[in-house]
Structure 1
Amino acid sequence: MGSHRRSTQPGAGLGARVTVLTAAAATAAATLGAATANAEPQDTPQTAGARVDRLYTEAERATEQYNKAGEDVARLRGEVSRAQDRAARGQERINRMRDELGSAARAQYRSGGIDPSLALLLTSDPDSYLDRAAAVGRADIRRAAALAELSRAQRALAQTRAEATRSLAGLERGREAVSRHKRTVARKLLQARQVLKSLPGPERAAFERASRDSRDMTAGPVTGLPAGSSRAAAAVLAVHRALGRPYVWGANGPSGFDCSGLMQWAYAQAGVSLPRTSQAQRYAGRMVPLSEARPGDLVAYRADASHIGMYVGNGQVIHAPYPGAPVRYDPVGMMPVSSVTRV
């Protein structure tokens, strides 16, 4: 069968497999959507299964891109909200400063605004006048400082509004990316379903049975080591509770999951916040060799880390494989391993 079901001894020939996968990904990207989905006359159950696996792999990559775009949209939405709050507070401050300066200007106007040298000649109490003039001078200095502060506040407000405008533009681009990746996922999954539908009934049933029972207990390290930490142990307990729940792309539980959504949910039950995507999750802790994997470690697959599962010991991972296959056990070496991360 295809990459989801082919056991691979971890570590052996990894560089060559990564090169092949990278080239395949580039080819798939260049021809996205160009191929017809229906099985070709020369298709056999094996070649059709390989095509389905390829389509599921491409859909999974698009799913992780969809998850990343959604994460970016959430971040930008927060940036927009914070910038708008800062702009509102800045405008209120500017309004208060303008009111205060306006009151001072009106008070000076009501006092006559007479030329200081003429007022000194006309006053009957020069000493008192000089004291008042000094006080007025100090008030003028304060007003000048207030005007300078007002100018700075206006510049800061303009900068904040420019930041909000940029974040809004980024938010719109992020929404477009979410829609684009969502369409890609839907198209790939539809193509996969059409290929499966084109197979004769007995061959389709055999394919689906194989896709749901792919355990190979000889693949990967077989260890009885304890979990890497208490929180990893809690995450392992949680991921076991998810067994049998459906793969739902873009979902992070509790009723359905995609691959990275399952890891995020399981660790959230242990009080640990993981990033949303498999590419970010691979850097959420310390990388260790596959030979030292312990329960709770995150196992990323393929060169681009577009799939991820949780090592649970005894040479197995629990993961959300692809649409139609529920959360399940699989051998840790089911695909080329790109990294193992201890959270």
Structure 2
Amino acid sequence: MKKIKVLVVEDSLVFRNLLVQSLEKDNALEVVATASDPFEARDKIIKYRPDVMTLDIELPRMDGLEFLRKLMPQYPMPVVVISALSEKVFDAMRAGAVDFVAKPTVADRKQLDSFLCNELPVKIKVASTARVSRYKKPVMFDNNYSTSSKSETNLIAIGASTGGTEAIAEVLRDFLTDIPGTVVVQHMPPKFTEMYADRLDSQCRVKVREAKNGDVVTKGEVLIAPGGDEQMSVVKIADNYQVVLKKGERVNGHCPSVDVLFNSVAEAAGPHAIGIILTGMGRDGAKGLLKMKNAGARTIGQDESTCVVYGMPKAAYDIGAVMHQEKLQNIAKKTYNLINQG
């Protein structure tokens, strides 16, 4: 099998050597070159034609984010960003990076081993399959578009993974303040989810925040599942939906898991919910979306042409869980159409 050619861009010699030594142990990967700054990286890209580049954000001579913005229009390629806790990772996603991984503390051996042996190699392999061409951002639909007062839809659930930070943002930016309460699982490292929610809150008309145990899901508000070791589900208490965060095992390799959320929404809301599955690798969310559909919910899946990775939506589509397949730029409008149908 042909190996995935990797270019490692990292200014720290010690950490760069750690990355190379670790990645070279994976039979599916080949580190063809390394670079300590963007100018060296540019020359190595031209010479070695890597399949995937890992990119540190904090680099000398030129910031990694600035380099990414210059690179992608001229030489689009899959990029996995390695970053300490910083909002810059979301700017990098918007600039065209496929995914990011939290930079570990070298002194924490357990965290470092997990990063080197599991997280980063998996991200690189997924990135090698990603679609890096960008669709044109559409004009936002009519701001006067609104939900019918007769609508019986009162809960929306969204799940995504690779490429999902931008996909979710595209959908939420088109939501208005009359949208039913919305719950979201996006596979993301701990602490980044709060930062992501705060960022979306500043960009959207709806309120967006990281979910807390016991939160009531309310109209015009979006709750993002926190990254970490807790699964997020929804229960119905009286006339309200309430968030439950509980420590649990990984499901489909993830915590939080889209399937856990979707399964709970199927039970709590049945036909009063809409499920949306967006770009991501793997099958997380497919069975849960089918359970939602079977409970009477309407379901939407992102189409292949606008996915960074057409994994999760395809898995859901293949088992009959997706009722409406839509381009990303049409999903918010389709959601409103479904709400107003009943």
Q: TM-score, normalised by structure 1?
A: 0.23
Instruction: Say which structure, 1 or 2, has more relative contact order (CA 8 Å, 6+ apart).
Output: 1
Select the structure that is richer in helix: 1
Q: TM-score, normalised by structure 2?
A: 0.23
Select the structure that is richer in strand: 2
In terms of Rg, which structure is larger? 1
